[in-house]
Amino acid sequence: MPADPHVAIYARVSTDNQSVDPQIRDLREYCDRRNWPSPIEFTDHGISGAKDSRPGWNACWDAIQKRKVRILVVHALDRIGRSLPHLVKIINYFSQNGLTLVSYRENIDLATASGRMLAGIFSVMAEYERSIISERTKAGLRAARAKGKQIGRRAKYFDKEKAAELRARGWGQVRIARELGVGVGRVNAWVRCLRDTLC
């Protein structure tokens, strides 16, 4: 732990008729008990945690990445993470960069052994979720192909007659590709095919 830690607290409420004051009060008292005086305060009012753009959190994260903040205290983990994978990314960033994240309500401190263990559990859960999503995506693609559906963009038409005419004029493969609006690799493959008398 740094001798003179740069501490911040972050509080967020989802609706305008709520107040961040109770969270701020708890977090200030917690910092006082830990002898972390005058923490920097970041807040978001009436902003859902699912939103990508949260001005207070964006400013807080920027300060963390610039090492202006080395210890972040939040009321609960759901105040910062949009989703489990997003939360795990945040936790991993703190762990990998020697920073401290404290959750007041859940009594989690990543600077402790139990906090690091919990971070590992979160990471495993997020990896499991990613693997399930990946497998579902692959299964969906397999089912679509089985029904004869086109997956991805259709290949652009390659006019072999025009390509042969240009090649007969002495044009190089890069120039032919530009003229026909196709990739150079496709022209190269066609030329190799011609040489092997397979086309």
Single out the catalytic residue among 14, 19, 48, 131.
14
> In which region does residue 38 sit, left (phi positive, over 0), alpha (psi from -120 to 50) or beta (all else)?
left
**Are 31 and 37 in contact, with CB atoms under 8 Å apart?**
yes
- Phi, psi at 103, each rounded to 5°: -110, 115
Which three-class secondary structure state does DSSP give residue 181? coil
**Are 17 and 26 in contact, with CB atoms under 8 Å apart?**
no
Report the alpha-carbon distance of residue 79 to residue 108 in Å, rounded: 14
Question: CA angle, 15 as apex, 14 and 19 as ends, to 5°?
Answer: 90
For 49, residues 6+ apart whose C-beta sits below 8 A from its C-beta are 12, 14, 78, 79, 80, 81, 82
157 residue type, one letter: Y
Q: What pairs with residue 72 in β-bridges? A: 8, 101
Q: Which of 95, 134, 146 is nearest to 118 (CA)?
A: 95
| 14 included as an active-site residue | yes
Active site residues: 14
